[in-house]
Structure 1
Amino acid sequence: MGSVSESYWETVTMIRLLVGILAFVINQVYRDRPMPRFYVLETVARVPYFSYLSVLHLYETLGLWRKADWLKVHFAESWNELHHLLIMEELGGSQNWIDRVFARSVALVYYWIVVALYVVHPRAAYNFMELVEGHAYRSYDKYLKTNKQYLEGQPAPQVAVNYYRDGDLYMFDEFQASRKPEERRPKIDNLYDVFVAIRDDEAEHVKTMVACQRPNAQLTLNSPHSVCAIEENGSELAPNS
């Protein structure tokens, strides 16, 4: 038991080092270029969810474990990060080819790191993403505080309007495991509102990652829509068993 605990904390220490290196490099290289910095951050932030989905699909294919809700939640998380990325692309964050090469190279490396980590220590893999999303939250929060007046005078990108306000919000609700569907509906009137919504998304990701690390998470973590179905019907739906 002691050796397992020791191994876990060694892994967590390695994770903190990896996240620290990533945050330091992005903050230093992109100190005065916020949109390319957010583009790189969002490119990398999608990757762990792809890693989780890949391993979960492998387990299901091998007949080892099936949990449809986890696939739904992690895909919804990747869908949310995709729209963050699309917003940064629309704001010009991906115009420079070297930024695209850097972001995709880092993303490729982190994909395989998280795949291996998720197989060996699922809780540690979720801890990794908790730290990444926490860093993203702080980055957006700082940007909002220092650029409020400018952002309030800029229009919201159409992709943000479509995702947060005018589109099908089923997937938006699915990644927020601590909330009921339709509980959160961001205001999107200008670019400031968009960045507030993205920042708050990152906080919701942190909550979901924390929930995934609980000892009984495999039994208790359900997607928001499934939770409502369970409450209404009194039993869990068959696909989640």
Structure 2
Amino acid sequence: MKVLIQAIVSFFVFIVDVVYGNRSYARFYMLETIARVPYFSYLSVLHFYETLGYWRKADLLKVHFAETWNELHHLLIMESLGGGRLWIDRFIAQHVAVAYYWVVVPIYMLFPAYAYYLMELIEGHAYHTYDEYLQTNEAELKAQKAPQVAINFYRDGDLYMFDEVQTAPGHEFRRPKVDNLYDVFVNIRDDESEHVKTMVALQKPEARLTFKSPHTVFEVTKVLSSEAEV
């Protein structure tokens, strides 16, 4: 099954690279439109289970919703940079996203670990794509201002949702710089790394019972630290 998933992701990556070539912002717009979709699929299935009284897991719902919120702001950043300017780019991205949603739903219902593995590969590809873009365009990006939507999301707004995608944060959550466009892309790249960590953690056999959201882990850690000091 993993070999099949790897083949599907590799084919998708090849098509995106061929279609978008050097049109980086359009390609990022495509990736971010689609990147949200599996989290929508996970949430739909989890809500379905909860409605039936079959299974409830608030921490998974929190984290997957936070991941959709994170990817939404990546998408808003790409839109602010003109990534979705052309009608054809929006048309392709949105229709692929709808089809992708219905592919992931049955996979998640039948084989949740494989659904998470699929997203691990997608997010891993996104991480390397942004990392390569940063290395190639560092000087140009540092000379440009950060979009306001990025400043609001990473620094000046309510950071609860941003914190909820930071797997295993330990005692402190990440507080990134947003001084220029280079910082913005560093933050997006690092977000993708956090998504990969979460997808890896959720593939463990015991994950459905033991997984805790970053804020839950943080609060438990604070309580244990306070008790140890007493």
TM-score, normalising length from structure 1? 0.90
1:191 paired with 2:181, answer: yes
- Match of 1:142, SS state, is helix
1:26 paired residue among 16, 20, 27: 16
- What letter matches 2:58 in structure 1? A
1:92 paired with 2:82, answer: yes
**Aligned CA distance change for structure 1 residues 185 and 28 (closer, same or farther; 3 Å):** same
Q: Give the whole-Å Cα distance in 2 for the aligned partners of 1:118 and 1:130.
A: 14
Q: Give the whole-Å Cα distance in 2 for the aligned partners of 1:113 and 1:135.
A: 19
Q: Give the whole-Å Cα distance in 2 for the aligned partners of 1:80 and 1:232.
A: 25
1:54 paired with 2:44, answer: yes
The two structures, once aligned, show a CA RMSD in angstroms of: 1.2
- Match of 1:154, SS state, is coil
Name whichever of 148-157 and 169-178 sits farther off.
169-178
Q: Which residue number in structure 2 is paired with residue 150 of structure 1?
A: 140
- Match of 2:53, SS state, is coil
- What letter matches 1:110 in structure 2? Y
1:74-93, aligned counterparts within 5 Å? 74-93=64-83
In structure 2, the gaps of 5 or more residues are 225-230
Q: Which residue number in structure 1 is paired with residue 191 of structure 2?
A: 201
Per-residue deviation, residues 98-132 of structure 1 (Å, max 9, x unmatched): 00000011111111110010011000000000000
State the 1:16 CA deviation: 1.2
Q: Which residue number in structure 1 is paired with residue 35 of structure 2?
A: 45
Q: Give the whole-Å Cα distance in 1 for the aligned partners of 2:165 and 2:10.
A: 25
Per-residue deviation, residues 127-152 of structure 1 (Å, max 9, x unmatched): 00000000000100010000000000
In structure 1, the gaps of 5 or more residues are 1-10, 235-241
Q: Give the whole-Å Cα distance in 2 for the aligned partners of 1:32 and 1:148.
A: 16
1:139 paired residue among 129, 138, 144: 129
1:218 paired with 2:208, answer: yes
2:160 paired residue among 153, 170, 180: 170
Q: Give the whole-Å Cα distance in 1 for the aligned partners of 2:115 and 2:37.
A: 12
- What letter matches 1:67 in structure 2? K
- What letter matches 2:12 in structure 1? L
Q: Give the whole-Å Cα distance in 2 for the aligned partners of 1:146 and 1:224.
A: 33
State the 1:154 CA deviation: 0.3
2:60 paired residue among 63, 70, 73: 70
State the 1:28 CA deviation: 1.2
Per-residue deviation, residues 143-166 of structure 1 (Å, max 9, x unmatched): 000000000000000000000010
Q: Which residue number in structure 2 is paired with residue 6 of structure 1?
A: none
CA contact (8 A) 2:166 2:173 kept: no
Q: Give the whole-Å Cα distance in 2 for the aligned partners of 1:165 and 1:232.
A: 23
Name whichever of 211-220 and 127-136 sits farther off.
211-220
Number of residues paired by the alignment? 224
- Match of 1:185, SS state, is coil
TM-score, normalising length from structure 2? 0.94
1:229 paired with 2:204, answer: no
State the 1:229 CA deviation: 3.0
- What letter matches 1:22 in structure 2? F
CA contact (8 A) 2:150 2:184 kept: yes
